[in-house]
Amino acid sequence: MSSYRAMLCVVAALVLSCTSTSAFVAPTAARAATAVNQRSSAVSRSAVNSRQTQRRTSALCMEGQAAYLDDPMLVPLEDDDYVAFGLACCFVMNDNLKLDEYYVYEPLTAATLETIASSQSLETSYKRVTAFHAKDIFEGPPARPTGIQVDKLKILDGDVTAHICENPVERTLAAARTYKRRVEAQMCGYGDLLEGFNFSTERKRILNHKFEPSFDDNVKQDKSIDVYGREEEEAKQIADLENM
């Protein structure tokens, strides 16, 4: 029960942070993100179009980028921490306003991996999943990573070409932290390939399309937070939200 509440907290954080394309910020990372946002809004308030301001802005942005590493509330990752990556089938809109498939490598949170790996009845945009020790997938030490070793993710490719997701370092740090709190969600062995999920692109994840929740969406989301104890429905709602 409490674990489902924890998952719903993740969902709530997701709903609140979902003002742009497939943005995922885990609750722990949200604090860092808020700090960044506060800084950047301070920047926009004072913005006048002078070169000096531009210089100041870029200095603040750089400072902001490191904020998620310097947040004293976040315990640094260790070399052997677990993190799973998936190959997701997303879409981008081309110049003719048609949707093209666009495969993305992205870290999976504990809630996502647990949901898609434990129930075939839930549809997902993930084709394949693998898992790493943090030290094997980050560039630089996991406590202060500088990038992602994208080559290592090619194990997920199959017959498609894929691209690393946006903000991969930040998202991987946030995702890895979710497994610290939920070790039983580590359902893919290190270096294993998990596939055969209930793959579907019926609900398309469109990457260059700004997500603006409609009134109906907001009503649905309110309902989704009001279903404690109805595990199957919760899991479905979580999957639906994560499939956005």
132-136 contact pairs (CB < 8 A, 24+): 132/82, 132/83, 132/84, 132/85, 132/190, 132/191, 133/79, 133/80, 133/81, 133/82, 133/190, 134/77, 134/78, 134/79, 134/80, 134/81, 134/82, 134/83, 134/176, 135/79, 135/80
Task: Kindly tell me which of 8 and 239 has the beta carbon lying closer to ligand NAG.
Answer: 239
Min CB(236)–ligand NAG separation in Å: 7
Task: Kindly tell me which of 200 and 208 has the beta carbon lying closer to ligand NAG.
Answer: 200
142-201 binders of ligand NAG (CB under 6 A): 198
Task: Kindly tell me which of 123 and 234 has the beta carbon lying closer to ligand NAG.
Answer: 123
Number of residues this chain uses to bind ligand NAG (CB under 6 A): 5
Task: Kindly tell me which of 115 and 221 has the beta carbon lying closer to ligand NAG.
Answer: 115
Min CB(223)–ligand NAG separation in Å: 18
94-153 binders of ligand NAG (CB under 6 A): 120-123
Task: Kindly tell me which of 68 and 197 has the beta carbon lying closer to ligand NAG.
Answer: 197
Min CB(243)–ligand NAG separation in Å: 11
Name 56's Cβ contacts closer than 8 Å, sequence gap at least 6: 43
Task: Kindly tell me which of 130 and 237 has the beta carbon lying closer to ligand NAG.
Answer: 237
Task: Kindly tell me which of 7 and 148 has the beta carbon lying closer to ligand NAG.
Answer: 7
Min CB(237)–ligand NAG separation in Å: 12
Q: Closest residue (Cβ) to ligand NAG?
A: 198
Min CB(198)–ligand NAG separation in Å: 4
11-70 binders of ligand NAG (CB under 6 A): none
Min CB(123)–ligand NAG separation in Å: 4
197-236 binders of ligand NAG (CB under 6 A): 198
Min CB(68)–ligand NAG separation in Å: 35
Distance of CA 170 to the CA centre of its chain: 9
Applying CB under 6 A, the residues found at the interface with ligand NAG are: 120-123, 198
